[in-house]
Structure 1
Amino acid sequence: MGTYLALSSSDRRWPSIADVIDVAGGGLRQRLRGIGATGIDPGVRLAATLALLTATALAGGWAVLELNPWTTAWFGFEQHGTSVSLGLGVWAAWLLAAVVHVVTPGRWTRLTIGLALVLTVGVVPLAAVVDRSRPPLFVLLAQVCLGLVALGVPGQPPVWLRLLPVVGAAAALPVAAIFARSGGDVLTGYYGWPAVQVLPGAGTALFLVTLLVGVGLAARNDLRGAWALLVLLCPIGMLWLHPLAEELAVISYGGGPNADWTTLAAAASIVAAAAAIVMSAAPMVQRRVAFTQAAVERGRAGGSLTTDSAQR
């Protein structure tokens, strides 16, 4: 604290945001190191890279569908022109984050991701004020969870890692263009059938990629992949939110699946609570395993010394 005070100007009465984040981050790292969670920091960086890749790929696909021109009745009112909803600005912000990550990774990338997060959350009240349509909450919630994890992107990654979000967004464009060309009732709102199908697919892909990367790293005694998978549990669950809410509706009310806002909110709460419990338990389990291994090694060392003494 004395160092912070010495480096600050005489007229400053409150710490800067960067200083607050630095102190809080350093304290959190010390706490995690104290309970044995030494691999979580590189795991967060790996999870952030994969989360940014997923978020920008989804944004690229949604932006193409937003730009698909049609005139159709959508939930009771007419939609005209090239922009279906206010979501176009949200997806543009996420694509900007992918470009900034290539040009100036680190601080500016995190600031751009923060701007995209603000727009993703702010589009909800804005749509209510200007009376325009917006992406549904289950689409926005998944994007917010991915963005929060993406804030941990490394400051100076290799060039090929910088390019991943742009490549992911570019790869999503032709897939979205196929949906856009198909037209018809399927695209009377890309938040309907496409979103319900695409988001769980993205969640499955994110899970499998993280698992494969984790297995490859574990073969070299590197647990970054395991920590990355734990960090990404909540975003993956949010990507599967609509199917989970449908199952919850069947369990709660019987009959066919009918996910409304109450079942979606309940499913989101369950996913968030389960991810928090698993993430909290993981450092304690790791510490217990490390303690047991150390005790076994001490026992072996003590037994070896006893045998040597007896032989002497």
Structure 2
Amino acid sequence: MTDLERRYARWMALFYPAHDRRKRGSELVDTYLALAAPGRRRPSPADIADLAAGGLRRRLRTAPGVGFRLAGLLALTTTSAFASWWAVLEVLAPRAPWSAQTGPFLSLGVAAWALWLLAAVVHAVAPGRWFRRAVLLAVLVTAGVLPAAMLTGILRPPLSVLLPQVVLGVVALGASARYRWWVRLAPLAAAALTVPVAAATEPRLGFNGDYYPCAVVALPAAATTLLIGATLLALALAARHDSRGVWALLILLTPIGILALNPIGAMLDNAGPGRPIVPEWSAMAAAGVVVAVVGPALLLLTLAATDRRSAGGRSLPAETTHCPTCGAPSNSA
């Protein structure tokens, strides 16, 4: 085996599922070798990108890929509920007299929340390409609120509110599958049900005219709800020999950890019993590092273990997947 062939095989081992490598690995490597320029010793960046795209498409057809679609639906439902919650805060929270306002709203965050609610509508009426574009736009605008506030001096939501929305939004891209209409309405239903709860709660929590009092209550509560809901769903599906729920739970661990940064940071903060409701930035940063490492590591270790089991001759759960619309088992071969 030449150095170039060995390097192509290593890249393929990184991106492609084991059962694909076993069935078509040699054929794919030979194709890339035949197209490579004479004398080339390493795969070109274009070939690596092509391998990554092909491997991603194949993985999205496996059990982890189907789990990503389920995780995307749960993430979109959460972002829609939060968008509704924060939009109500933008309207009802008292304004500090010294703060620059955005028209009748509290901060620049109202633009992001409007786009997230629009994404929920698009998911209900036009899933697929248009939905992915709507979510991507919402993610970019949410991330852009921070620099926009720095340039304009207008109030913005805290980073502890913006970051979970961005991370959940990336996962929500997986919700582009064409579910049944009543399933696609779940994010909109969550947003609608959140409005009366927020309207009754936020005027009391938002007594300082900012996000913090609401955030320290709403974010951990959402983390707990999402964790319990995803775990119960994983157990229910596992009882039917369906691994979608387990993969969805693994994918959602990182967003759940981001939602729970405040209590995790409080546990790492050594300020004592009288510590403030918002931990020190050092504790929050340490909590962020823990979440950013542990969640993806668990997912990657599980993927590696599944690939190793498949490489040993046992079939992946992906060989028998489930229809994202009705949940009926289907043979991917």
What TM bracket, shorter-length normalisation? Answer: 0.7 to 0.9
Which residue is 1:60 aligned to? Answer: 84
Contact 2:93–2:210 (8 Å) recurs in 1? no
Contact 2:100–2:155 (8 Å) recurs in 1? no
- Please report the TM-score for the alignment, with normalisation by the length of structure 1: 0.78
User: How many angstroms does 1:81 deviate by?
Assistant: 6.2
Q: Whole-Å Cα distance in 2 between the matches of residues 58 and 123 of structure 1?
A: 16
Contact 1:72–1:79 (8 Å) recurs in 2? no
Is 2:150 the counterpart of 1:128?
A: yes
Is 2:250 the counterpart of 1:226?
A: no
User: How many angstroms does 1:261 deviate by?
Assistant: 2.7
Is 2:68 the counterpart of 1:70?
A: no
CA displacement, residues 268-289 of structure 1 (integer Å, 9 cap, x when unaligned): 1110111111111112333456
User: How many angstroms does 1:291 deviate by?
Assistant: 7.2
Distance 1:67 1:276, change over 3 A: same
Q: Whole-Å Cα distance in 1 between the matches of residues 163 and 298 of structure 2?
A: 20
Q: Whole-Å Cα distance in 2 between the matches of residues 283 and 86 of structure 1?
A: 40
Contact 1:43–1:224 (8 Å) recurs in 2? yes
Gaps of 5+ in 1: 3-19, 295-312
User: How many angstroms does 1:21 deviate by?
Assistant: 9.0
Moved more, 147-156 or 231-240: 147-156
Q: CA RMSD in A?
A: 2.8
Contact 2:233–2:245 (8 Å) recurs in 1? yes
CA displacement, residues 10-57 of structure 1 (integer Å, 9 cap, x when unaligned): xxxxxxxxxx99864432354x59xxx941011000000000000010
Distance 1:69 1:216, change over 3 A: closer
Distance 1:136 1:220, change over 3 A: same
CA displacement, residues 205-248 of structure 1 (integer Å, 9 cap, x when unaligned): 11111111111111110000000000000000000011111211
> Aligned to 1:191, which of 211, 214, 233?
211
> Aligned to 1:257, which of 265, 269, 275?
275
- Aligned-pair identity in percent equals 43
SS of the aligned residue for 1:40 comes to: helix
* 2:172 aligned partner, one-letter code: A
Distance 1:27 1:104, change over 3 A: same
Q: Whole-Å Cα distance in 2 between the matches of residues 140 and 78 of structure 1?
A: 19
SS of the aligned residue for 2:146 comes to: helix
Q: Whole-Å Cα distance in 2 between the matches of residues 57 and 84 of structure 1?
A: 19
Count of aligned pairs: 268
Distance 1:110 1:23, change over 3 A: farther
Contact 1:138–1:264 (8 Å) recurs in 2? no
- Please report the TM-score for the alignment, with normalisation by the length of structure 2: 0.73
Is 2:279 the counterpart of 1:269?
A: no
Is 2:70 the counterpart of 1:46?
A: yes
* 2:227 aligned partner, one-letter code: F
Which residue is 2:134 aligned to? Answer: 112
Contact 1:93–1:115 (8 Å) recurs in 2? yes
Q: Whole-Å Cα distance in 1 between the matches of residues 258 and 195 of structure 2?
A: 23
Gaps of 5+ in 2: 1-27, 32-47, 315-333
* 1:265 aligned partner, one-letter code: A
